[in-house]
Amino acid sequence: MLRRSYSSFRSLVEKGELVRVAGAHDALGAVIAQQAGFDAVWSSSLEVSAARCIPDASLLTMTEYLEAASNMQKVLGIPVIADCDTGYGNNLNVVHMVHEYEAAGITAICMEDKLFPKLNSFAGGGQTLLSAEAFCGKIQAAKSAQATEDFFVVARTEALISHLSLEIALERCHAYCEAGADAVLIHSKSKTKDQVEAFLSRWNGRRPVVIVPTTYPDWHADDIAGAGVSVVIYANHGLRATVASLRETFESIRRRGDSTELEDRIAALSDVFELQQLKTWQKFDA
Ligand code: SPV
Ligand code: MG
């Protein structure tokens, strides 16, 4: 079967177990994440823009991000959650975005409360946020635009990233839930889990919480689940692994003048053919 059916992101969250998500920028990375046993794939703005060697700074258009997410979803048997940055404009852009993503079979999106154009959370010192009121308007626009009950909207606050207080982060997230968000993402660039743990200890639990433990990588998934997190996103590990592996591979071939040293460490072509579902395709030619 070339196209696989998949459950919605909402149905995963509603199971009540920690949903583990891996970031990707293309179908290949997404399928490898699925093979590793991840529950869903994060179509990451950082990864998608890095794959083009341009900054994660609202440079690509909605259509380009949608194409990346859709290319992943087409070959997956697990749902994609699409990183939709700030929603690509105002409330009208958000409505258009939800129409387009939902029509492409994407069952979950995430929007963040930065001002357009945004910059990646780990680049620069923290940005000015959109007012909570205006971001609530975007959430309402997104929720009113969805065609199916299942469509899932994650509201992400960058309050802690922008050095605002825990109180403000909590206040914003509570307001986003009032506006209809299906979950909140509390992002942090702290070197420890403490900030996020403090948030969780004061969260009212009305909606699931999503985290992205890039800068606090030592928090084990079991403990993350125990702390009350519903979704954990390993947002950029695939991209970073790709960079390291390509570099090692190309440098070795250049240095040695042949590729024998690498042959055991790089994927066999048969592995690549399997990822391409070559045998299934060949049946059409039988
Ligand atoms: C992404 O992966 O694009 C994210 C997460 O939004 S972060 O890079 O931490 O901003
Ligand atoms: Mg992003």
Placement of tokens 């891996």 in the chain: 22
Q: Which of 52, 56, 25 is nearest to 41 (CA)?
A: 25
Q: Which of 214, 235, 256 is the last residue of a domain?
A: 235
User: pTM score, two decimals?
Assistant: 0.98
**218 and 266 share one domain:** no
d(CA 80, CA 83): 9
Pocket of ligand 1 contains residue 230 by CB under 6 Å: no
Q: How sure is the predictor about 127, in pLDDT bands with cuts at 50, 70 and 90?
A: confident
pLDDT in tens, 94-106: 999 999 999 999 9
- Would you say residue 2 lies in a domain? no
The answer to whether 39 is a known catalytic residue is no
121: Cβ–Cβ under 8 A, 6 or more apart, which residues? 158, 161, 187, 189
Pocket of ligand 1 contains residue 23 by CB under 6 Å: yes
Burial group, residue 110, by CB count within 10 angstroms (0-12, 13-18, 19+): buried
In this predicted structure, the answer to whether residue 125 has a pLDDT above a threshold of 80 is no
Burial group, residue 179, by CB count within 10 angstroms (0-12, 13-18, 19+): buried
User: Which range marks the domain in which residue 153 is found?
Assistant: 9-235
**68 and 102 share one domain:** yes
Distance in Å, CA 252 to ligand 1 centroid = 31
Measure the CA angle with vertex 68, ends 82 and 99; round to 5°.
Answer: 55
- The bound ligand whose nearest atom lies closest to the alpha carbon of 120 is 1
Measure the CA angle with vertex 215, ends 211 and 216; round to 5°.
Answer: 70
pLDDT at 60: 98
pLDDT at 68: 98
**250 and 224 share one domain:** no
- Which of 56, 83, 85, 182 is catalytic? The answer is 56
In ligand 1, the atom with minimum distance to the C-alpha of 56 is: 3
- The bound ligand whose nearest atom lies closest to the alpha carbon of 44 is 1
In ligand 1, the atom with minimum distance to the C-alpha of 46 is: 3
Q: Mean pLDDT over all residues of the chain?
A: 97
The CATH number of the domain holding residue 174 is 3.20.20.60
pLDDT in tens, 45-91: 999 999 999 999 999 999 999 999 999 999 999 999 999 999 999 99
In this predicted structure, the answer to whether residue 115 has a pLDDT above a threshold of 90 is yes
Pocket of ligand 1 contains residue 21 by CB under 6 Å: no
pLDDT at 113: 98
d(CA 227, CA 225): 5
Pocket of ligand 1 contains residue 46 by CB under 6 Å: yes
| CB neighbourhood size of 183 (10 A) | 25
Number of domains present in the structure of the chain: 2
pLDDT at 3: 82
**266 and 197 share one domain:** no
In ligand 1, the atom with minimum distance to the C-alpha of 189 is: 9
- Would you say residue 49 lies in a domain? yes
Pocket of ligand 1 contains residue 214 by CB under 6 Å: yes
**65 and 84 share one domain:** yes
Q: Which of 151, 157, 160, 107 is nearest to 132 (CA)?
A: 157
